[in-house]
A and B are shown apart, each in its own frame.
Chain A
Amino acid sequence: MMEVWRRPGVTRRFLVRVRRGAPPGVGALAWVAHRITGLVLLGYLFLHLYTLGSILQGPAPFDTAMALMAQPAVRLLELGLVWVVLFHAFNGIRLIVLHLIPAASQRALACAVGAATVVVGLASLPLFLP
């Protein structure tokens, strides 16, 4: 609990090793995907706030913005976002499990994350299909 400083440069060391031809395992791939989806979700949070911010110009501009959100193309992007959220959430649970049980199988946990993302993603399709 005392040693809370991690050596920085995880991203660089990962890229160097991949460039050298070392195949990344499931744990490393999940780590990369978690980071990318996390940044995507932070970007979306700002976009979400930006579109909601149209209410500052009054109800009519807000309703116009929401009509745009109801377009099939935007709904399709939203569907993609749901899968990004699901992966990030299930992989986050994986990280907590790994922290509590360090000896847990990387492969089994990664498979569980993939399976949960696909199953819940497919089950929630009717809610989000354009």
Chain B
Amino acid sequence: MGEADAAVNDTRTALPAAGIGAWLGLYLTGMFLVVFVPAHLWVLHYASVGPISARAVAERLRTPFFQVLDLGLFAVALSHGLLGLRRVLLDFEGLGPRVQRTIPWVLLLVGAAIFAWGVQILRAFLRVAGM
């Protein structure tokens, strides 16, 4: 093993950066995405033919199945991304404990705002579907 490997070796098995909950969340959402992102791509690129149109998307989103699936996938992907970003940010040294403790809350607020934006987009599609 090279010297440069030693620098990252502790990410191999160590539970990284503050919090078994965040670590478990990153791994569980990751496992979910490994299954559902390919499914999402399959639905949009294989199972549906023709160009993507507002009408077609709205029609698909009429069913509660796709409403839950799309919003759930969005929530999980967003959580995974922000948990990953949290890890990147917490890797910076010299932040100080106060900044370190603040980062998760800032990310949570940012995540909640972005999720609300996603809900608005879903509602806009439902309006197009006449719901």
Q: Which residues of A contact B (CB under 8 A)?
A: 1, 3-14, 16-18, 20, 22-25, 27-28, 31-32, 35, 38-39, 41-42, 45-46, 49, 52-53, 55-56, 59-60, 62-63, 66-67, 69-70, 82, 85, 89, 92-93, 96, 98-99, 102, 106, 127-128
Contact = CB atoms under 8 A, between A and B. Distances in A.
16 contacts: A6-B14, A8-B17, A9-B91, A14-B7, A22-B2, A24-B2, A28-B5, A28-B7, A41-B81, A45-B77, A49-B114, A55-B54, A55-B128, A59-B53, A67-B51, A96-B30
Given A38-B84, A38-B88, A89-B34, 5 more contacts: A6-B17, A8-B95, A27-B8, A69-B52, A85-B41
A98 B12 contact: yes
A63 B3 contact: no
B11 A49 contact: no
A interface SS class? helix
Nearest to B58: A59
B20 interface: yes
B11 A31 contact: yes
Contacts, number: 151
A6 B92 contact: no
Nearest to A69: B52
Given A9-B93, A99-B13, A35 B88 contact: yes
A24 B124 contact: no
Considering residues B3, B5, B82, which has the most beta carbons from chain A within 10 angstroms of its beta carbon? B5
